[in-house]
Amino acid sequence: MLKRRLFTPGPVPVPDRVRLAMAQPIVHHRAGDFIPIFQACRTGLQRMFQTQCPVLIFAASGTGAMDAAVSNLLSPGDHALVIRGGKFGERWAEICEAYGLRTTCIDVEWGRGVEPARVEEALDRNPDIKAVYVQASETSTASCHPVREIAEIVRRSDDRLMVVDAITAVGVYDVPMDDWGLDIVVSGSQKAFMMPPGLAFMGVSERAQRFMQSAESPHFYFDLAKELKSLPTDQTSWTPAVGLLMGLAESLRIILDEVGLEETWSRTAKLAHATRESMRAIGLELLSPDSPSPACTAVRVPEGVDGPALRSYLRDELGYTLADGQGALKGKIFRLAHLGYFDRFDTIACIAAIEMALSAVGYVHKMGEATRTATELLRD
Ligand SMILES: Cc1ncc(COP(=O)(O)O)c(C=O)c1O
């Protein structure tokens, strides 16, 4: 018997209670039954995002909200600054270019966080920059950018937006939208929300709402002004993903009212720390040792080991699906998740599986050492 276990940094496993909530009969979205479901979602999301600002919900993957965060805020020819330190930083740049923005990129070595001084310098040199686009947690490299410090620099002007892809940061660690003065914060259901893919979320500040009024980029489906108008009446512009919203209301109840948001952050951080230390204990190197994200850990495939063979063994022989590297890192790293519905026993067992797989593909190490390290660190 082979049990399938999903360990990718999105999608993540979905708790049974959430799956059952999604199995309830579908209600009509323009009828009264829908109102309490939607209210629970929008107020729960505000708590997750730590904001008093509206948080919009789209039937889309996270990239849909990223697209909206460009098309609704700026006009062709406007100047944007992108922090490009991984696959998703590249995505910001691609979206900005698709909408005809003048895009300046700060290229950051994959696996590192940007130095805030580089952002400061770029903004000083280009005072016409209207928005800064960054990842809080760059999932492709399992690293974090210092969003708080960057926001402090961006906030020196009121005529500039700070747009944060926090797709693997909201519900993972502390990224308080209002306290840090973030204008747009984007996330997605298949991450810390313990949900299937299909919903994108977006917190929108008052400053961003001001920018929206003069933005001239074309858009239709993702129309923030239209959504913001519908939100107070507990409606969305188009047919919402009703089944997913029923699941979201349940997952938010678990995270916010039963487990607790801070407890969720601290559990995730502990799992991440134990994983990093356990990999080091058997001589493996991390891709991002200096600014690791708690969302997932990226481990370098050791010299002489076939990366795809390692992940195939994990998946086909042991039932564990881990993520590959993306872009230039394909086959060179493997990534395992900590965000979402994972507890310490999930993590310890996954580390044991990694040891078994490493040994099967010829990596010589003291068998059990990583598992022992993780067990020690997660004992209490
Ligand atoms: C940091 C980050 N940004 C953007 C995305 C893209 O989101 P989606 O695949 O939901 O469109 C992901 C998804 O893995 C992500 O982790």
CA distance 156 to 13: 41
- pLDDT of res. 42: 97
CA 69, CA 231: separation in Å to the nearest integer? 17
Give me the pLDDT at residue 337, please.
Answer: 98
Q: What is the mean pLDDT of residues 316-330?
A: 97
217 contacts: CB under 8 Å, gap ≥ 6: 70, 71, 72, 74, 75, 76, 99, 100
- According to the model, what pLDDT value does residue 14 have? 98
The alpha carbon of 200 and the centre of ligand 1 are apart by a number of angstroms equal to: 10
What percentage of the chain reaches a pLDDT higher than 70? Answer: 100
CB of 86 closer than 6 angstroms to any ligand 1 atom = no
Average pLDDT over residues 244-259: 98
Establish whether residue 167 lines the binding site of ligand 1, counting it when its CB lies within 6 angstroms of any ligand atom: yes
pLDDT digits (tens, 9 = 90+) for 147-195: 999 999 999 999 999 999 999 999 999 999 999 999 999 999 999 999 9
Query: For residue 178, what pLDDT is reported?
Result: 98
To the nearest whole percent, how much of the chain has pLDDT over 90? 99
Structure tokens at 90: 């590249």
CA of 186 to the centre of ligand 1 (A): 10
Distance of alpha carbon 272 from alpha carbon 279, whole angstroms: 11
| Residue-level pLDDT at 363 | 97
- More confident of the two residues 31 and 290: 290
pTM flag (> 0.95): yes
DSSP H or E stretch at residue 104: strand 102-107
Q: Rounded mean pLDDT of 247-276?
A: 98
The two three-digit tokens of residue 83, written as one number: 């922090």
Question: Would you state the pLDDT for residue 241?
Answer: 98
Residue to probe by mutation, ligand 1, list 6, 167, 185, 189, most atoms within 8 Å of CB:
167
- The residues pairing with 135 across neighbouring beta strands, listed in sequence order, are 165
Residue 328 DSSP code? G
Reported as type and span, the H/E element at residue 370 is helix 369-377
Instruction: List Cβ neighbours of 374 (8 Å cut-off, separation of 6 or more).
Output: 274, 275, 277, 278, 347, 348, 351
Using 50, 70 and 90 to split pLDDT, how confident is the model at 310?
very high
C-alpha 64 – ligand 1 centre gap (Å): 10
User: The tokens of 292 are what?
Assistant: 């690791």
DSSP letter string over 175-237? --TTTTT-SEEEEETTTTT---S-EEEEEE-HHHHHHHHH-----SSS-HHHHHHHGGGT--S
Average pLDDT, the chain: 98
Do 48 and 62 form a contact (C-beta atoms < 8 A)?
no
- Which residue's C-alpha comes closest to atom 7 of ligand 1? 62
SS3 category, 252? helix
56-86 pLDDT, tens digit each: 999 999 999 999 999 999 999 999 999 999 9
